[in-house]
């Protein structure tokens, strides 16, 4: 006699019963996790032991022939062990020596009458505008040619604070700035946003239709690309938008123009040939304030971190879930391939919170234990 096929509802009932048993077993496992966390704390053992977890995965999947089941078990237990680690960090709540040793909490940023601020570019640049917006026009500030020179000035003690553009709302991250933050012993201590309104600037009497060369910073050219594409011109990159304006004024060629600010036009005696040429009217650039002092203010609300990961299934999710389990919000994430390390990536992440918050310290302890090249870029 042919066996009667069960109905979908009968099968669902059995799965429901099994799921309840799995949930009860998971809860029991987490009770063991509590004990394990306290035992590790007593023994001084680390929460994360990759070799041990790899052995567990190998043991669980051993002698199972169905590749789908093997893959599924790996995925399930990777997540179970990840959740277990997060629970252990929560239970142990150890002091974070990394933060305590490298960062100092202060009521506010220290400013003296002789405080000096360095920015990339020349007077009239958006970087100078950011500098004056954050520190005030009366603070002693000066420009240098390149982004790297800002870090050099801080390292050499020539300046107390530096200003660098890091992100634009329409063109994305500013190339090279994250590398400067990694390669130099500097810390983000603040940020400021400057509205970007690009203009096409030329010598007095110049005409747009006669322009054959337009120069600017790569971001200025990128942010104005739709307009520039309507012109039959050569594009040339220079270090800064205001430097471009200065060069057009100095060269005296009526067929050359610069993409720069209205303020740069005033500073260098240029004429605005076209205004508001950036393709997004709400275009803003975010600038970070840098210091040699690793400090953060008591009311700081954003933390920037960096780390690298192998390009393996689930690795990024497991790291980001540390913030999820501690109710922290991510506001920015960027990935960059690592040079000479195939399929490995460095991530830059902004998360809300302050380094004195317990939830922040729990999350960062977990992340730091499970990644390579971890660095807190600043809390501001």
Read off the pLDDT of residues 318-355 as tens digits, 9 standing for 90 and up.
899 999 999 999 999 998 888 777 778 899 999 999 99
Confidence at residue 343, expressed as pLDDT on a 0 to 100 scale: 76
Do 60 and 175 reside in the same domain of the chain? Answer: no
Q: How many domains does the chain have?
A: 3
DSSP class of 136: -
User: Does the pLDDT value for residue 94 go beyond 70?
Assistant: no
pLDDT, tens digit, for every residue of 7-31?
999 999 999 999 999 999 999 999 9
147 plus 235 within the same structural domain: yes
The burial class, CB within 10 Å (0-12 / 13-18 / 19+), for 220 is buried
Q: Are 161 and 290 in contact (CB under 8 A)?
A: yes
By CB neighbour count within 10 A (0-12 exposed, 13-18 middle, 19+ buried), where does 119 fall?
Answer: buried
pLDDT of residue 193: 97
Which tokens go with 168?
């634009």
C-alpha distances out from residue 120 to 148, 157, 239, Å: 9, 16, 8
Q: In degrees, to the nearest 5, what angle opens at C-alpha 328 toward C-alphas 327 and 330?
A: 140
Residue 12 lies in a domain: no
Render the burial of 230-268: b for 16+ CB within 10 Å, e for the rest: ebebebeebbbbbbbbbbbbeeeeeebbbbbbbbbbebb
pLDDT at 296 over 80: yes
Distance CA(298)–CA(327), nearest Å, equals 20
Report the mean per-residue pLDDT for the chain. 92
Report residue 248 as tokens. Answer: 């057009």
The pLDDT tens digits for 153-183 are: 999 999 999 999 999 887 788 888 999 999 9
Token pair 């005409």 is found at 207
In a domain, 3, yes or no: no
**CATH number of the domain enclosing 380:** 3.30.70.260
Degrees to nearest 5, angle at CA 249 with 247 and 250: 65
Tell me, yes or no, whether 259 lies in a domain: yes
Q: Between residues 353 and 124, which one has the greater pLDDT?
A: 353
Q: In the prediction, which pLDDT does 319 show?
A: 93
Reduce the DSSP state of residue 155 to 3 states and report it.
helix
Looking at the structure, tell me whether residues 313 and 278 fall in a common domain.
no
On whether both 130 and 166 belong to a single domain, the answer is: yes
**How many Å apart are CA 166 and CA 191, to the nearest integer?**
10
Looking at the structure, tell me whether residues 88 and 138 fall in a common domain. no
What does the pLDDT read at residue 175? 81
Residue 1's pLDDT is 58
3 or 268, greater pLDDT: 268
pLDDT value of residue 315:
85
pLDDT grade for 63, boundaries at 50, 70 and 90:
very high
Tell whether 303 and 287 lie within a shared domain. no
Neighbours of 135 (CB within 10 A): 23
Average pLDDT over residues 277-305: 93
The one catalytic residue among 126, 135, 147, 287: 287
Q: What pTM was computed for the model? A: 0.80
Of 263, 292, 321, the position where a domain reaches its end is 292
Where residue 239 falls among pLDDT bands split at 50, 70, 90? confident
Of the pLDDT bands very low, low, confident and very high (cuts 50, 70, 90), residue 376 is very high
Note if 285 is an active site residue.
Answer: yes
Residues 54 and 73 occupy one common structural domain:
yes
The mean pLDDT value for 41-68 works out to 92
In-domain check, residue 264: yes
Instruction: List pLDDT tens digits, range 184-226.
Output: 999 999 999 999 899 999 999 999 999 999 999 998 999 999 9
The rounded distance, in Å, linking the Cα atoms of 124 and 303 is 30
Active site residue 115: no
User: Which residue in 220, 121, 234, 235 sits closest to 170, CA to CA?
Assistant: 220
> Of residues 285, 307, 323, 347, which has the active-site annotation?
285
Give the dihedral of Cα atoms 302, 303, 304, 305; nearest 10 deg: -160
Domain containing 25: what range? Answer: 17-92
Q: In whole angstroms, how far apart are CA 89 and each of 71, 78, 82, 325, 355? A: 27, 17, 11, 11, 16
Percent of the chain with pLDDT over 70: 99
């Amino acid at each position: 006699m042919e066996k009667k096929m069960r109905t979908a509802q009968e099968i669902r009932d059995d799965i429901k019963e099994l799921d309840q048993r799995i949930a009860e077993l998971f809860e029991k496992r987490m009770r063991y996790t509590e004990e394990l966390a306290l035992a590790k704390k007593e023994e001084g053992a680390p929460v994360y032991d990759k070799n041990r977890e790899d052995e567990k995965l190998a043991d669980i999947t051993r002698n199972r022939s169905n590749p789908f089941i093997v893959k599924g078990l790996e995925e399930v237990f990777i997540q179970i062990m990840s959740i277990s680690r997060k629970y252990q960090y929560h239970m142990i709540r150890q002091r974070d020596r990394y933060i305590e040793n490298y960062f100092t909490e202060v009521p506010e940023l220290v400013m003296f009458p002789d405080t000096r601020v360095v920015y990339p570019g020349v007077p009239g640049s958006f970087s100078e505008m950011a500098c004056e917006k954050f520190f005030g026009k009366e603070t002693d500030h000066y420009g240098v040619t390149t982004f790297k020179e800002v870090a050099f000035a801080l390292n050499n003690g020539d300046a107390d604070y530096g200003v660098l553009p890091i992100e634009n709302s329409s063109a994305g991250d500013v190339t090279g700035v994250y590398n400067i933050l990694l390669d130099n012993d500097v810390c983000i201590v603040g940020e400021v946003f400057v509205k970007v309104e690009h203009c096409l600037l030329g010598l007095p009497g110049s005409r747009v239709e006669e322009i054959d060369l337009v120069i600017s910073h790569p971001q200025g050219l990128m942010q104005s690309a739709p307009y520039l594409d309507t012109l039959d011109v050569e594009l040339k990159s220079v270090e800064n938008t205001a430097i471009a304006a200065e060069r057009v004024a100095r060269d005296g060629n009526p067929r050359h123009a610069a993409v720069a600010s209205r303020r740069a036009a005033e500073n260098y005696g240029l004429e605005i040939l076209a205004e508001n040429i950036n393709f997004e009217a709400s275009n803003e650039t975010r600038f970070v304030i840098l210091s040699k002092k690793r400090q953060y203010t008591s009311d700081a609300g954003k933390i920037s971190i960096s780390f690298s990961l192998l390009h393996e299934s689930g690795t990024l999710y497991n790291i980001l879930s540390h913030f999820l389990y501690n109710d922290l919000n991510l506001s920015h994430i960027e990935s960059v391939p690592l040079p000479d390390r195939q399929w490995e990536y460095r991530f830059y992440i902004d998360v809300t919170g302050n380094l004195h918050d317990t939830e922040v310290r729990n999350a960062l302890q977990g992340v730091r234990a499970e990644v390579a090249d971890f660095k807190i870029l600043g809390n501001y």
